[in-house]
Amino acid sequence: GWNKSLIPVVLKLLKPPITNQENICTLLCFLAGAQPKCKSGPVDLVFLIDSSRSVRPHEFETMRKFMIDILNELDIGPDTTRVGVVQYSSQVRSEFSLKTHSKMDAIVKNINEIIPLAQGTMTGLAIKYVMNVAFTEAEGDRPKVPNVAVIVTDGRPQDRVAEVAAEARDKGIEIFAVGVARADMTSLRAMASPPFEDHVFLVESFDLIHQFGLQFQDKLCDMDMCKTVAHGCEHQCVSTPGSYYCICPEGQLLQDDGKSCGTCKSANIDLVLLIDGSKSVRPQNFELVKKFVNQVVDSLDVSAHGTRVGLVQYSSRVRTEFPLNMYHTADEIKAAVMKVDYMEKGTMTGLALKHMLENSFSEAEGARPASRNIPRIGLVFTDGRSQDDITEYAKKAKEAGITMYAVGVGKAVEDELREIASDPVEKHFYYTTDFSAISTIAENLKLNVCPAESQGEIEVKDPCACESLVEFQQATMSSLEQLTQKHIL
């Protein structure tokens, strides 16, 4: 029972072997005897229909069918295509708004119940209504979703349209102007978005209006979703019919958020941050350090069974601000970080490393048993030379299986940072001259955890092989030194 014209299409899908999911779905639609439905969304679509007295009853019925035929080919739903209908003559009346219906059968019922106004042709007034009312949040309009208006008219407007249509287009509304029979081409061009060959249609009768319907469907189905939505892809966005996906450069993998890239998949960790609270940091810079910590937290999947975070501040003494088992959400951690009081005094980095090893990564403070192979990461942030020896406990921490990162700013000593950092050292330490640049370090710091072969229970989302537990993306000192010297408090 196949249409013979479909055979070449099916054969094309079969060569080469079908591996593409979209092709498989298309083939199944052909085998079922149905064309695949266009996935158009997300789009906020409003029909603006002329119901002046010159539109005869049977022509208005054709207009109903025209709208329904278009909508039957679109993916209607609250998260895909939303639809509103406004009719106008000497006055404007909203038949239903973008938020009224989420199901196609309800839309069809409402369209079939529309009673024509049968008066004049105030097209400018109707465009103004669509701009100021129909495409508002109160009526169901969504931010960052394309706004599309389809105006269908059979006559010359009785008011001015050029200025109000230009204002609507400036607000981001894409306007299609469909003229039938007595419609005026000059007025249609004054209303429509450029290019006119894609947005202006003039047909001799309502019976031919379906020709625009086919072309309009193609327009929506070909919409570049990467250009119309805030995709958030770190590297590159790829559009598909009605959707999109993110890809990463060669050698990197897409992370669990579907947007960011890394050398391996993110996994759960026990992370302890050691922050320098010595007098040389100064109060305003200590606020920047706290913001740095919270930027790091924002990149993690924090939960009781996921990533745990502890915070230690040190100066001449060491103070646990909160252990690994105290907070189980990122919001709780970030709130606690902002409440941390600045200690001042000296810089006992060695004592802080000893405290981290002996206390912070103990099971009593929330570190998970070594048998479970949850990676342990220590990150030291300092702005100066340590007043005690760091060698012994920097070495012991790494021997205990803790992966160490060292971030230095200002008068921090590079040799000390390198001694603290795990191998390969170049991937585990970073230095900048100014506190204003540390937010950029946080942005480029990716805690991408890929444990090596492990035994026992593993709590990782997607283990893989990679060189280091934390991967700094490409960033150079020259770019950091070009950053503004202004402190952002």
Going from N- to C-terminal start, the domains of the chain cover 43-222, 224-265, 270-448
**Residue 149 confidence (pLDDT):** 93
- Could you give the CA distance from residue 114 to residue 152 in angstroms, rounded to a whole number? 15
% of residues, the chain, pLDDT over 90: 40
pLDDT tens by residue, 171-181: 889 999 888 77
- Could you give the CA distance from residue 213 to residue 227 in angstroms, rounded to a whole number? 24
Which helix (H) or strand (E) covers residue 403, if one does?
A: strand 402-409
> Which residues are CB-contacts of 297 (< 8 A; sequence separation ≥ 6)?
309, 330, 333, 334, 337
SS3 247: strand
Q: How confident is the model at residue 38 (pLDDT cuts 50, 70, 90)?
A: low
- Could you give the CA distance from residue 133 to residue 162 in angstroms, rounded to a whole number? 19
Q: Averaged over 397-405, what is the pLDDT? A: 93
- Could you give the CA distance from residue 445 to residue 476 in angstroms, rounded to a whole number? 13
Cα 158–chain centre separation: 44
Closest CA relative to residue 125, chosen from 83, 153, 99: 153
Cα–Cα–Cα angle for 32, 38, 44, rounded to 5 degrees: 150
Choose between 442 and 471: higher pLDDT.
442
Q: Please say whether the beta carbons of 241 and 80 come within 8 A.
A: no
Q: Which of 52-56, 253-257, 322-326 has the lowest mean pLDDT?
A: 253-257
Q: Residue 11 burial by CB count (10 A; 0-12/13-18/19+): exposed, middle or buried?
A: exposed
Q: Which amino acid is at 30?
A: F
What the block records as the tokens of 259 is 């947007």
CATH classification number, 224-265, choose in 3.50.50.60, 2.10.25.10, 3.40.50.10490, 2.40.30.30: 2.10.25.10
Q: Residue 190 burial by CB count (10 A; 0-12/13-18/19+): exposed, middle or buried?
A: buried
Q: Which amino acid is at 235?
A: H
Q: Please say whether the beta carbons of 126 and 88 come within 8 A.
A: yes
Is 387's pLDDT higher than 70? Answer: yes
Is 19's pLDDT higher than 50? Answer: no
SS3 108: helix
Q: 43-222, which class in CATH?
A: alpha beta
- Contacts of range 335-342, beta carbons closer than 8 Å, 24 or more positions apart: 336/311, 337/290, 337/293, 337/294, 337/297, 337/311, 338/290, 338/294, 340/290, 340/311, 340/313, 342/277, 342/281, 342/283, 342/286
Q: Averaged over 346-352, what is the pLDDT? A: 96
What the block records as the tokens of 242 is 């009605």
pLDDT tens by residue, 76-130: 888 888 999 999 999 999 999 999 998 999 999 999 999 999 888 899 999 999 9
Phi, psi of 10 (to 5 degrees): -65, -45
- Could you give the CA distance from residue 43 to residue 70 in angstroms, rounded to a whole number? 14
pTM of the shown model: 0.43
Domain 43-222 shares a fold with domain 270-448? yes
What's the start-to-end Cα distance of the chain, in Å?
71
E strand residue ranges, 43-158: 43-50, 81-88, 92-96, 147-153
Q: Please say whether the beta carbons of 209 and 203 come within 8 A.
A: yes
Which CATH number applies to 270-448?
Answer: 3.40.50.410
- Could you give the CA distance from residue 429 to residue 464 in angstroms, rounded to a whole number? 23
Q: Residue 452 burial by CB count (10 A; 0-12/13-18/19+): exposed, middle or buried?
A: exposed
- Could you give the CA distance from residue 246 to residue 384 in angstroms, rounded to a whole number? 41
What the block records as the tokens of 118 is 């049968």
pLDDT tens by residue, 188-229: 888 988 888 878 887 766 666 666 666 666 666 666 667 666
Angle formed by the axes of helices 7-14 and 21-31, nearest 10°:
150
